[in-house]
Amino acid sequence: MKAVHYSVIQGKSFGYILLLGIFGAITAFGFGAALYMEHNGHIVTGMNNQIVWGLPHVFAVFLIVAASGALNVASMASVFGRALYKPLARLSGLLAIALLAGGLAVLLLDLGRPDRLIIAMTYYNFKSIFALNIILYSGFFLLVGIYLWMMFERRMNPFTKVAGFFAFIWRLILTTGTGSIFGFLVARQAYDAAIMAPLFIIMSFAFGLAIFLLVLISSYAWTHREIGDAVVERLRKLLGIFVASVLYFVLVYHLTNLYVTEHHGIERFILLDGGIYTEIFWMGQILIGGLIPLLLCLTPLGRSRPMVLLAAVLVILGGLAQVYVIIIGGQAFPLELFPGKGVSSSFFDGQITFYQPSIPEMFLGFSGIGITLLITTFAIKVLPFLPNSLANKDVDPHFTDQSKGDSGPSAEAATA
């Protein structure tokens, strides 16, 4: 493999300024929404005493999960020694930090008292998985920061592997922590399951890689740099495997619940008659976020660049749908205070709760994506994150392009 040359992007074009403007505006709207919510209280949101975590949490959890997943590409280069991924490692680290920053910003700005950040940073209840997550998130910034430094600074290059290893272990613990926020909730029918932690880890692989692919291909297209199929094809197939793994974990989760009579209520709600949640599950999570991307990633159907982009976008949309079903669907189903009894009260006991996200919540949620992309767009202008070329000849001289000529087993065999 040739030496990799990185460079900053020029960032003087109208397109670049426009992009910064758009991401900046999305971010600004989010901050405005947060101020509005803090001033008026959460009564201006769709959240209430039944659905206590709403759309901002869907975006925040999605971004935080994706953050650890985005680091995977770098891990594959540094920890597992796959040379092909090495040129991609810097962008992978950058996206990991940017995604986490976006997710945490949303989470923080949705707090009832965001002004008390200093309390969250200084008062710790170590039995709380939330408190541990605050430490895990801070540590992630630090470790990935060090990891990037090792990659950027030539003198430090020999330590890249060690830094990458620690960042990799840390990200596994971090996603375990995020999944356990739900896994450790004993009283809710939809949660209270150890599988939440590994499910979140595999979700992070898929979401993180989808975002990585999207950013990678777009930035190369917009900066007129070459990116060959050696990279894209590998990532596309990898995405397919991750999407399949997510589907497998979701299947195991629901099969386990279906076996236990106690959980039949919540399963019926999500899978059959939960209205909007059932629709989002089957249409959003399974079809759009699962089966279609699976087809695009693992068959020749998705070989063209637009199809790869489409697959990545679908995985992201499906991922948001999945987190929506987990967080909102899990709360909409009532708590079981009196098993075997029908329950009613002025506090909506026993009722399936209606939730309609409000405009400020949407602004706040989307601002997480805005912050992530703003950081990324800015960072690739000031530091050399992107290799000058990811053309086939530069990343893998032995790569044979299977899409040329007839696709099919015989053609592949001939070119191999």
Partner 1 sequence: MSIGRRDFLKASAIATTATAFAPGINLIELAAARNPEQAATAIHRWGLLIDVNKCVKGCTACVDACFIENGINEKGSPTTDAQWIRKVTTKDKATGHEQIFPVMCQHCEHPPCVDVCPTGASFKRKDGIVLVDKHICIGCRYCMMACPYKARSFVHQTLTGQNHNAPRGKGTVESCTLCVHKIDRGDGITACADACAGENHKAIIFGDLKDPRSEISRQLKAQASSQIRADFNLNTGVRYRGLS
Going by C-alpha positions, the residue among 207, 182, 176, 200 that lies closest to residue 290 is: 207
Element (H, E) at 389: strand 389-390
The CA distance from 105 to 109, in Å, is 6
Applying CB under 8 A, among 10, 12, 14, 127 the residue interacting with partner 1 is: 127
Q: How far is the CB of 138 from partner 1 (least distance, A)?
A: 13
Applying CB under 8 A, among 349, 388, 403, 411 the residue interacting with partner 1 is: 349
Applying CB under 8 A, among 80, 130, 222, 248 the residue interacting with partner 1 is: 130
- Within 10 angstroms of residue 287's Cβ, the number of other Cβ atoms is 15
Q: How far is the CB of 416 from partner 1 (least distance, A)?
A: 53
The CA distance from 94 to 375, in Å, is 9
Going by C-alpha positions, the residue among 65, 141, 33, 18 that lies closest to residue 316 is: 65
Q: How far is the CB of 272 from partner 1 (least distance, A)?
A: 19
Going by C-alpha positions, the residue among 265, 211, 255 that lies closest to residue 376 is: 211
Q: How far is the CB of 330 from partner 1 (least distance, A)?
A: 9
Nearer to partner 1, 124 or 222 (CB): 124
Applying CB under 8 A, among 6, 16, 36, 53 the residue interacting with partner 1 is: 53
Applying CB under 8 A, among 159, 188, 225, 241 the residue interacting with partner 1 is: 188
The CA–CA distances, whole Å, from 194 to 173, 203, 336 equal 14, 15, 20
Residue 194 as a binder of partner 1 (CB under 8 A): the answer is no
Residue 342 as a binder of partner 1 (CB under 8 A): the answer is yes
Residue 285 carries which DSSP code? I
Strand pairing category for 386-387 and 6-7: antiparallel
The CA distance from 18 to 24, in Å, is 10
String of contacts with partner 1 for each residue 250-269, x by CB under 8 A: --------------------
Question: Collapsing DSSP states into helix, strand and coil, what is residue 280?
Answer: helix
Applying CB under 8 A, among 2, 5, 82, 116 the residue interacting with partner 1 is: 116
Output the six-digit token pair for 294: 């699976």
Applying CB under 8 A, among 3, 12, 14, 41 the residue interacting with partner 1 is: 41
Q: How far is the CB of 284 from partner 1 (least distance, A)?
A: 23
Applying CB under 8 A, among 120, 287, 307, 310 the residue interacting with partner 1 is: 120
Nearer to partner 1, 166 or 348 (CB): 348
Applying CB under 8 A, among 338, 393, 400, 404 the residue interacting with partner 1 is: 338
Applying CB under 8 A, among 185, 295, 307, 391 the residue interacting with partner 1 is: 185
Query: Residue 36, exposed/middle/buried by CB under 10 A (0-12, 13-18, 19+)?
Result: middle
Q: How far is the CB of 60 from partner 1 (least distance, A)?
A: 11
Residue 136 carries which DSSP code? H
Residue 378 as a binder of partner 1 (CB under 8 A): the answer is no
Nearer to partner 1, 80 or 354 (CB): 354
Asked if 392 and 399 touch (Cβ cutoff 8 Å), the reply is yes
Output the six-digit token pair for 342: 């029908």
Q: How far is the CB of 1 from partner 1 (least distance, A)?
A: 46
Residue 382 carries which DSSP code? H
Nearer to partner 1, 188 or 225 (CB): 188
End-to-end alpha carbon distance in the chain: 19
Element (H, E) at 227: strand 226-227
Nearer to partner 1, 248 or 354 (CB): 354
The CA distance from 105 to 33, in Å, is 13
Interacting residues with partner 1 (CB under 8 A) = 38, 40-43, 48-50, 52-53, 111-114, 116-117, 119-120, 123-125, 127-131, 134, 181, 184-188, 331, 335-338, 340-349, 353
